[in-house]
Structure 1
Amino acid sequence: MKLRLAEMKDAMGIAKVHVDSWRQTYEGIIPDDYLASLSYESRKELWEYLIPKVHANVIIAEVDGEIVGFASGRIDPKTCEGEIGAIYILQGFQGRGIGREMMQQLFAFFEKENAERVKVEVLSANKSASFYGSFGGREYCTKDIEIADGFHEATYYEWTDYKAVLEK
């Protein structure tokens, strides 16, 4: 397994992981017709737009040259807070430490950028939601968010100390 920063040529690989992991993770949570409507092409366009803007904050995981996961994060310039935008790993590659290594790289970025706090939003029904708590994330609120013309509970985690992640 190899981690590296994303490049423009990775947009389609990221898009495939994005769509496939949504379909795997949110089956039975998000309506099937919405999941079926997700397309590689539209996600590729999204990532072609995002990669140049947040290049240093998009990390991909490759196994045998295939993108099997990605993570992204950003700093909010108004609040100096870090935000984990996504961590997606194809189901067949979960449980191998890929998520841990991507978290560590994101938090090294947040520390370098002097983020005062890092936060993430995750659907509460996502069976991987506890992943963030296992890295010392403190659950600080829940609220309903709208996805696919319906409302779903999201849990918010935050970190103010990076040691729990960087030393894990």
Structure 2
Amino acid sequence: MEYSIRIAAQEDAKQIAVVHVDSWRTTYKGIVAESFLEKMTYESRERLWASASPDSVVVAEDTNGRIVGFVSFGPERTKEFDFDGELYAIYLLKEVQGSGIGRKLVLAAAEGLIKQNHQSMLLWVMNANPSKGFYERFLPEKVAEDVYTIEGEDHQETALGWRDLQKLAAVLKEKV
């Protein structure tokens, strides 16, 4: 099946919420507390995505208009690191993981950050996330480590970063 990549629209919030919740439930099953995953609701995530800046979310959709993945990005939030852009979230439905959509979405985030005049990009990934290796294929530097607590359980996370978004975009384009 073919997939297109486009900037999200306000009316995409409901489908983005489904991808967000379903992706968490498949990716983090057995990693984070089941009670946390069960408490995630489409409605709460829809409210979150309905309020997102329209120029900072990109979606992947199939030929039927079904959103199967998304990425969100913008300025680096903490100002603690020497990176000016951040990939906040990238989620794909399990059935399309490994199809190349993730790489296209990271490219869209890099290009979006470049358009916003950012030079570099940071992202946080939970160490137990089975997709961590996906990011590592694009040779980021390890920037920091932290602990993220969910339902009283600590989870190690790592900040990965790319100092040159132009270079990252070129590498991603080679593989697309």
Q: TM-score, normalised by structure 2?
A: 0.87
Q: Aligned partners of 1:133 and 1:20: how far apart in 2?
A: 24
Deviating beyond 6 angstroms after TM superposition, the runs of 4 or more aligned structure 1 residues are none
> Alignment identity in percent?
36
Higher mean displacement: 76-85 or 41-50: 76-85
Give the total of aligned pairs: 165
Residues of 2 paired with 1:18 and 1:120: CA distance?
Answer: 17
Q: Which moved more, 1:156-165 or 1:29-38?
A: 156-165
- SS of the equivalent of 2:51 reads helix
TM-score normalised over the length of structure 1? 0.91
Distance 2:33 2:164 in 1: 37
143-152 or 60-69: bigger deviation: 143-152
Partner of 1:61: 60
Q: CA deviation at 1:112?
A: 2.5
Q: Say whether residues 1:167 and 2:171 are aligned partners.
A: yes
Shift in CA distance, 76/125, structure 1 to aligned 2, threshold 3 Å:
closer
Corresponding residue for 1:139? 142
Distance 1:167 1:156 in 2: 20
Letter in 2 for 1:71: V
Matches within 5 A, 1:122-137: 122-137=125-140
Deviations 1:98-131 (A, max 9, x none): 0111111111122223323210001000010121
AA aligned to 1:152 is: H
Corresponding residue number in structure 1 for 2:49? 47
The residue identity in structure 2 corresponding to 1:95 is G
Cα deviation for residue 77 of structure 1 reads 8.2
- CA RMSD, aligned part only? 1.7
**Cα distance, 1:133 vs. partner?**
1.3
CA contact (8 A) 2:111 2:169 kept: no
| Contact 2:15-2:66 within 8 A present in 1 as well | yes
